[in-house]
Structure 1
């Protein structure tokens, strides 16, 4: 069945960007985190392939020199914040493309409705090969990596307001609310999601 799109060129570009994002999840294609871009999936590669991992935030690609002061606040945690916000920026960009394709492509809309997400997908050991159209494969791989991101992010718990600023957490919450509505309309599978502190909770976590 052919896909009918309101703007074929724009929709093709959006689908290509999603395809490139999935391709970067291959062992040799993930891009390094960059201060300049603000939009890099630092969790693209399987964890077993990451030789550098931060002991503070556990995100790969950097080693933070952060230390805790007497009030248990982190100092010099900028590398952690960059890694986390870069990944939030990546998912914000993915969200823009998914939202547009969901409206303009009946095939993409149907694939979203039929997308199956399981708890096992959050682990790199889960086989990533699925059968189906290109769109089905793209959505499956993105869903798996999205669960991985949520697993990394939410397990930081009380560390988050020590590393991020309130604006960062607002960005995360806005992105998550929208992305969940597309990839996880029926909620998170068991053992994949931890409730995040809201901006109003920050003072109590400091």
Structure 2
């Protein structure tokens, strides 16, 4: 077993603790105050905060897609946060058999994105993956809603970073994702695209 190496066991423990700390920041009671210039900071755990009408994230307010610099900063912060999560997941998956087994057993469902649904209990690996999956589904839902606008205020390199990190996270967290959730995301994207088109028509009229 990989974990029989004492040094490796300690590295795994440190990695799990780091992920556990990130998970703690994903709930309102553990959320840190939003900094003026967020960097690799999770902005999804603050349901009570007023959110921006353009990107749906708290901590700033933009009124136009073509002047949404703060939205780009917020999204890059969120992407950076999940890049850190992905790096920890990759490390633990490569080193810990128990973590590998927990990843294989983790099944995402449509309902998990909603606060108040039953939480999993058990081994630390299981609990951490469950909480990560729930928060990650919120990120996927958010981006599905704002994607047409994000294409305007994010740069190509930003979008590439998002696609890269979500590809990694999908592999670790969403292998069991239901078709229902995928259809829901597609519907959100279509609705957002239609709304953006109508807004553009009204602006040009």
Same fold (TM over 0.5): yes
Report the TM-score when normalising by structure 2. Answer: 0.81
Matched with 2:94 is: 103
Structure 1, gaps ≥5 residues long: 68-72, 198-204
**Segments of 4+ moved more than 6 angstroms:** none
Displacement of 1:7 after TM fit? 2.4
Matched with 1:19 is: 20
> Would the aligned equivalents of 2:108 and 2:176 in 1 still touch at CA under 8 Å?
no
1:104-143 to structure 2, matched below 5 A, reads 104-127=95-118, 129-143=119-133
Distance 1:4 1:36 in 2: 43
Q: Using a 3 Å threshold, how does the CA distance of structure 1 residues 196 and 124 change in structure 2: closer, same or farther?
A: closer
User: What is the SS of the residue equivalent to 1:28?
Assistant: helix
1:124-203 to structure 2, matched below 5 A, reads 124-127=115-118, 129-187=119-177, 189-192=179-182, 193-194=185-186
Distance 1:122 1:181 in 2: 17
Distance 2:167 2:27 in 1: 27
Between stretches 87-96 and 2-11, larger displacement belongs to: 2-11
Matched with 1:53 is: 51
1:4-83 to structure 2, matched below 5 A, reads 4=4, 7-34=8-35, 38-45=39-46, 47=47, 50-64=48-62, 66-67=63-64, 74-75=66-67, 77-83=68-74
Displacement of 1:86 after TM fit? 0.7
Superposed CA RMSD in Å reads 2.7
For these two proteins, the number of residue pairs brought into alignment is 188
